[in-house]
Amino acid sequence: MGDVTTPATYNQALRTVKRPDPVAVGTIVWLGSEVMFFAGLFAIYFTLRSTSPGLWAEMTAKLNVPYAFVNTIILVLSSVTCQLGVFAAERFQPYTNKSNKRWQRWGMVPWFYLTFIMGAIFVSGQVWEYAQLVTEGMPITANSYASAFYLTTGFHALHVTGGLIAFLLVIGRAYAVKNFGRKEMTTSIVVSYYWHFVDVVWIALFAVIYFIK
């Protein structure tokens, strides 16, 4: 006779099925809506370029491309440190462990601290760039290009600032719990999804704003 499925074995089979984490799924769905939001901002830029090419050329000449490129590199590298922090979280290692291999010694918390610092440098760099552009005669009220530039990059800066706050919350939670478990690991992964998203969006913004003349 073949194996008979009993309620006990059926329930056991259900428990072994791997289901996607609802928090991660919800975050991905929300990021999908954010994609649409930034798509609208991109549309503003391309419309402006097609309707006012002279204004576009005049205003883009004021942008400091090398400075923005360095700032972009900092943000991209912060995505690397963020992912290293996620790898540490997946090892359930919130803090530094000198007994591990050299590349595994740092835990999630120090990697996320480093990511936070790099993200803060990026936002500070954007604020400094705004100040320089204003002194060069490009305030937000100067023309349609200036309004589009500040709104687009400003909304992105707000998203980066939200990510920085999320990193602090994850770090604080790591300190608050006695045992770093699966919930803490999932939280760190979800935050990394968001951080990688704002990095990718900025790379696209950087290409559109600073390279398309």
DSSP assignments along 15-76, one per residue: HHS----HHHHHHHHHHHHHHHHHHHHHHHHHHHHHH-HHHHHHHHTTS-HHHHHHHHHHHH
Nearby residues of 187 by Cβ (< 8 Å), 6 or more positions away: 23, 170, 173
Q: What is the CA radius of gyration of the chain?
A: 22
Q: How far apart are CA 93 and CA 103, in angstroms?
A: 13
Q: How far apart are CA 9 and CA 65, in angstroms?
A: 63
CB 123 within 8 A of CB 161: yes
CB 195 within 8 A of CB 116: no
Closest-CA residue to 31 (of 205, 182, 163): 163
Residue 149's Cα: distance from chain center in Å? 20
pLDDT tens-place string over residues 7-23: 544 444 444 445 556 65
- pTM of the entire structure? 0.82
CB 201 within 8 A of CB 76: no
CB 117 within 8 A of CB 107: no
Res 15: pLDDT: 46
- Give residue 209's region: left, alpha or beta (phi > 0; psi -120 to 50): alpha
pLDDT tens-place string over residues 70-84: 999 999 999 999 999
Domains of the chain: 19-211 (1.20.120.80)
CB 81 within 8 A of CB 115: yes
pLDDT along the chain (213 residues), means of 10: 48 48 62 72 80 81 92 96 93 79 81 96 96 91 87 91 94 89 88 92 89 71
